[in-house]
Amino acid sequence: MKDIALLLFAGVCLIQSCAALHAQSTRQPCPRPAEGSAIVEPEDLRSQNGVLKVELTVENAKQSDGSVRYCYIDQNGNESPNLRVNPGDLVILKLKNELKQFDADAATAIPNHMHGVPEKNADDCTSGLMTQTSTNLHFHGLTIPPVCHQDDVLKTSIQPGDPPFEYRFRIPENQPPGLYWYHPHIHGFTKLEVLGGASGALIVEGIERANKAVAGLPERVIVIRDQDLLNPNAPPSKSEPVVPKMLIDRDGDAANNGTGFGKPAKDLSINFVPVPYPDYLPAVIEMKPEEQQLWRVLNASGITYLNLEVLFGHTPQQLGLVALDGVPLNQSGMIGDFVDWQTHLGVPPGGRVEFIVKAPAVGTSALLVTRTVDTGAGGENDPNRMIAKISISKDAHEPQSTLSATPKPLPPSALPWLASITPVRIRRLYFSEKLLEPNNPNSATEFYLTVDGQTPAAFDPKSGVPNIIAKQGTVEDWIIENRSSELHAFHIHQLHFMLIDYQGRTVNEPFLRDTINVPYYNGRALEYPSVRLRMDFRDPNTVGDFVYHCHLLEHEDGGMMGLIRVEP
């Protein structure tokens, strides 16, 4: 009797497995919600007993309009799930590459500065192969070692047909609790995959332990992505003012026209709900009347800057910022549960903001919008536009996760606050660009991020020669200038930094970041715009070779990147 029961149980399991496999084989690859629909939060995958095991498949799918979508699908069919971990957890993530080649010419469309990338060999850790169907993962913002199977993006390259590649790393015990993210980082093709939708949130739990102001709040994960225009030939909405004739910048996108309106360089989506030009039909966020929530917003765009506001009617509301780029604002040892109340929050590509939002009363019109960002004469057009309508109802669905109401405080940092450390040296770097055909304003552009004193050169992934050598255990100041006519977003892997001064003026901002805007040069000022950053190399996980770059991905892919080696 017992044997029969076991066989029946096995039969049921087999039938269920077959059903799951059939559902997986018949589902639409990389599905997307309809315009104007309610946003759905990504599925939460939580660590269990100190371990998070995840199986992801990266896929792509060509659409009828010729565009290609990219996505991560987990073992249960969820798209771009939230990876939720605790400090000290072990992450075991298996990544399967099922990307397809849709454009035969693109397979060899490697930028000029990347010629000579080695042929694929049997070892995904050393091949460095960079093609349209190669992939890997970068865990943006995490302080984990830049080595294969953890966070190496220089040589790790996974090909279609390879067995699942295992990422295995431990979340550091001192990793600040907050919002991080994962995305591919194949040099020359990162923009292609991220713009297509290959990205997801990673949350290190415990932000309420760092700041009790958010204890007990429902939390909502919001991922804003950009994509190629769905309606590139549509005239602007009739509700918009007349703007100058549309121009195209050197990257092939709509150029900044300085009006705050007109055709954007890219469309936006929110949790994959598209909000396309020209009408920007907003997605829907449901909230209960006058409730407070913690919104954790990731700008996973390839090139689009955000300037977020919540409007009740036409009035901007106070947003309670509690964390930037995964780090709580009061990590500096500030007294009390610090909340920085602002009416708008700028978020560069790759940046994250976590803030408290209070819903209005029933009957109040409420919107999440992004205001125009001045990207400079050479930049893309990021105009004013709606992203989501906030719908108020007593029956609104609650977010799927709520923070603990009785958190245990985080232990104090074992290291002195970064601002109190004297840097061992000051380095100067600068952004610049060059037309390949100087007399042709529409020529292709090379992008550079150069250490002062070195010759500007597009990043060469096969070189292996570091632009900067630093020592683990030290702190440095980097002054980064922008000698180009467009806004750039500086990002460095493996660590966070602190803004010391902006445009030569000291700032009182005791916050940590991993991505920051560097203002554009207007062609008239006597000095180039700059930021001064305090770089923290004290963590032993920073030892090794890793990169710093502009997080506008077409600039990164085009060579605006450098290699740093941190020695023990």
End-to-end CA distance of the chain: 64
Which pLDDT belongs to residue 9?
35
Which pLDDT belongs to residue 255?
93
Q: What is the mean pLDDT of residues 87-100?
A: 98
Q: How far apart are CA 517 and CA 363, in angstroms?
A: 38
212-231+246-402: CATH topology: Immunoglobulin-like (2.60.40)
Token pair 């606050």 is found at 417
Which pLDDT belongs to residue 412?
85
Q: How far apart are CA 281 and CA 274, in angstroms?
A: 8
Average pLDDT, the chain: 91
Alpha carbon separation from 487 to 319, 448, 483, 536 (Å, rounded):
25, 13, 10, 24
pTM of the model: 0.93
| DSSP assignment letter at 114 | G
504: left (phi over 0), alpha (psi -120 to 50) or beta: left
Task: With beta carbons less than 8 A apart as the criterion, state whether 55 and 96 touch.
Answer: yes
466-509 pLDDT tens trace: 999 999 999 999 999 999 999 999 999 999 999 999 999 999 88
- CA 154-158-163 angle, to 5 degrees, is 145
Torsion of the alpha carbons at 21, 52, 300 and 541, rounded to the nearest 10 = -140
- State the chain's maximal CA–CA distance in angstroms: 90
Flag whether pLDDT at 7 surpasses 60. no
Task: With beta carbons less than 8 A apart as the criterion, state whether 472 and 567 touch.
Answer: yes
CB-based burial label for 21 (10 Å; 0-12, 13-18, 19+): exposed
- Cis ω before 278 (30° cut-off from 0): yes
| DSSP assignment letter at 48 | B
Q: What is the mean pLDDT of residues 431-447?
A: 86
Share of the chain above pLDDT 70, in %: 91
381-393 pLDDT tens trace: 999 999 999 999 9
> Tokens standing for 51?
């371990």
> Tokens standing for 26?
């018949």
| DSSP assignment letter at 113 | G
Which pLDDT belongs to residue 22?
45
Q: Could you tell me whether strands 327-328 and 345-347 are parallel, antiparallel, or unpaired per DSSP bridges?
A: unpaired
Q: How far apart are CA 257 and CA 252, in angstroms?
A: 14
Instruction: Enumerate the H helices of 365-406 as residue ranges.
Output: none
418-567 matches 212-231+246-402 in CATH topology: yes
Does the 28-200 domain belong in CATH 2.40.340.10?
A: no
Task: With beta carbons less than 8 A apart as the criterion, state whether 79 and 30 touch.
Answer: yes
Domain boundaries of the chain, sorted by first residue = 28-200, 212-231+246-402, 418-567
418-567: CATH topology: Immunoglobulin-like (2.60.40)
421 alpha carbon, distance to own chain's centre: 29
Task: With beta carbons less than 8 A apart as the criterion, state whether 97 and 160 touch.
Answer: yes
Task: With beta carbons less than 8 A apart as the criterion, state whether 490 and 530 touch.
Answer: no
163-174 pLDDT tens trace: 999 999 999 999
